[in-house]
Amino acid sequence: MYRDSSRLAYTIALVGGIVLWTATSALSGRREPWDWAGYWTISYPIALLLAGVLGSLFPQRPWRWALVVIFSQAIVMLIGGSGLGLLPLGLILLGVLSLPAIAAAHLGARLRR
């Protein structure tokens, strides 16, 4: 049962993240979602909310869901044609951006308990 719920959580986090970042890229007309001002006021808060909800629904090690939601942005950027030259810097930025998402997921898990 636990393994099945983990698979479901990973799937929701991955699909949710990819849909969110793809929609952000499409709305902004940019390859990298964070190049749009709406990223910081709309998309990123939605990603934090998604991480928190997943943490609440699947409270075992909730940091995993947050990482998948945030780092799925890298998949969207690579598929969208972003160059690999700034990939290391982008991954560092995604790591920093994942910290509030991890906090949100832990908060969701704590509220569930």
**Is 56:112 a contact under the CB 8 Å cutoff?**
yes
Average pLDDT of adjacent 10-residue blocks, the chain of 113 residues: 80 96 90 86 96 96 96 88 81 95 97 81
Q: Give the pLDDT confidence score for residue 53 in this predicted structure.
A: 97
Q: Name the pTM for this structure.
A: 0.90
**Is 65:104 a contact under the CB 8 Å cutoff?**
no
**Where in the chain are the domains?**
2-112
Q: Give the pLDDT confidence score for residue 2 in this predicted structure.
A: 58
**Among residues 18, 26, 107, 22, which one has the least CA distance to residue 71?**
18
